[in-house]
Amino acid sequence: MLVSVVVGALWVTLPAYLPNNAAVLAGGGRPIDGGRTLGGRRLLGDGKTWRGTAVGTAVGTLAAPVLNLLATPVGATVGVTIPTIQVPAAALGLALGAMVGDVAASFVKRRLDRARGAAVPGLDQLDFVVGALVFAALAAPAWFTSVFTLPRLVVVVVATPVLHVTTNVIAYRLGLKDEPW
């Protein structure tokens, strides 16, 4: 029962987890804010680029059909029923929402006078998942309410910070990321 809730919750949230990691690998090039400032501070900073955002959104969205193909065999192997992301708008909402949430957090961080890469505990770990859930709920409301039941939402909110910290430490150790958060 618990395994089923955890596996199902993390599975359908994968299109929101992948964009950040893809952006780290793909990032670079023109920053979204084009160097613009607000009150003497960068609008978003050099860490939010068009390329990272576009590749992150594409990777997260395109992961959904792959996850849908794997849901039945993986579910059978683990012995749980895994929900699918059959609605394209839901996949796009999760991926784009994750990127927008992360961009919004950078906007907040710059207003708080935190330099690019500075850690803001809480914000760094939840920005993208909150963005993803809000966008998915708006883009595909019926799918969202049937898939994101309260137990699954609780799992996502509790497990996401742990997963985020873990993957970032790994990316840092591998030399892919400048900071371990």
Residues that bind ligand CTP (CB under 6 A): 23-24, 27, 45, 47-49, 52-53, 99, 102-103, 106, 109, 116-118
User: Which runs of consecutive H residues, i.e. helices, occur in 27-140?
Assistant: 50-78, 88-111, 123-139
Q: What gap in Å lies between CA 7 and CA 81, rounded to an integer? A: 9
- Cβ of 155: how many Cβ atoms within 10 Å? 19
Closer by beta carbon to ligand CTP, 14 or else 46: 46
User: How far apart are CB 95 and ligand CTP at their closest, in Å?
Assistant: 12
Closer by beta carbon to ligand CTP, 45 or else 93: 45
Q: What gap in Å lies between CA 68 and CA 85, rounded to an integer? A: 6
User: How far apart are CB 171 and ligand CTP at their closest, in Å?
Assistant: 9
Beta carbons of 35 and 178 less than 8 angstroms apart: no
Cβ-proximal residue to ligand CTP, closest one: 52
Closer by beta carbon to ligand CTP, 105 or else 147: 105
